[in-house]
Amino acid sequence: WSVPQEHGGFPSTLSSRPISDDWPGYSLDLFTYPQHYYGDLEYVLIPHGIIVDRTERLAKDITQDIGDNDIVVLCVLKGGYKFCADLVEHIKNLSRNSERFISMKVDFVRLKSYHNDKSMEDMQIMGEDDLSDLRGKNVLIVEDIIGTGRTMKALLNNIEKCEPKMIKVASLLVKRTSQPDGFRPDYYGFEIPDIFVVGYALDYNEYFRDLNHICVINDQGKAKYRV
């Protein structure tokens, strides 16, 4: 890995076809999901099986780029934990079956940037006291979703002060927003419309993390779990 001059570039081979704004999704009747969420969801945007397959491909691409470098995987909590766990497991499996062994240490940072379904101007970083340990390290930040990019840029600014050797960003989802901030992760799974999604550890006020599929929450669900 070379030290990037700026964050935002990603190999064209990693770009997946965007999910269009008029994509109707999959009917909930086609899948099983927790009964306590019946009536709270609009449709399934990305089924769990597709997420698993895409994550495995991302792991392969990241492994090819890493080479023999040791890395620190910085998981952004709470929404990123499931994607991070699956991604790290796939990278470990690829490393075990390869001539190149990749040593990984996983660490965590927690960000707070949403109230209900609205993005807040101010972002809180919890666990940033430990970021000094990243000095001179190869860092892979794993996030669940990137919208405007403001949150990730703020986190990157804090990490860069610790002078890591290299930083890469992997996000499961990239959201097309009306106010993009010009940030693109180095790796991403899916580009989605500007809609609020839950499931696969993405939450709405701590609910829906136990949903395997990525779904669109309906107005009833938002009202039911609003704080």
Q: What was the pLDDT predicted at 15? A: 45
pLDDT in tens, 7-28: 433 333 334 579 999 999 999 9
SS3 letters for the chain?
A: CCCCCCCCCCCHHHCCCCCCCCCCCECHHHCCCCHHHCCCEEEEEECHHHHHHHHHHHHHHHHHHHCCCCEEEEEEECCCHHHHHHHHHHHHHHHHCCCCCCCEEEEEEEEEEEECCEEEEEEEEECHHHHHHHCCCEEEEEEEEECCCHHHHHHHHHHHCCCCCEEEEEEEEEECCCCCCCCCCCEEEEEECCCCEEECCECECCECCCCCCEEEECHHHHHHHCC
Q: What was the pLDDT predicted at 114? A: 54
- pLDDT digit of tens for each residue in the chain (227 aa)? 544 434 433 333 334 579 999 999 999 999 999 999 999 999 999 999 999 999 999 999 999 888 778 899 999 988 899 999 999 999 999 988 877 778 899 999 887 655 555 555 555 666 555 678 889 999 999 999 998 888 888 899 989 999 999 999 999 999 988 766 668 899 999 999 999 999 999 999 999 999 999 999 999 999 999 98
Q: What was the pLDDT predicted at 67? A: 74
Q: What was the pLDDT predicted at 90? A: 95
Q: Could you give the CA distance from residue 34 to residue 161 in angstroms, rounded to a whole number? A: 43
Q: What was the pLDDT predicted at 113? A: 58
Among the CATH numbers 3.40.50.2020, 3.40.640.10, 3.60.110.10, 3.40.50.720, which is that of 50-192?
Answer: 3.40.50.2020
Q: Is the bond into 165 cis (omega within 30 degrees of 0)?
A: no
Contact 182, 189 (CB under 8 A): no
Q: Could you give the CA distance from residue 147 to residue 177 in angstroms, rounded to a whole number? A: 6
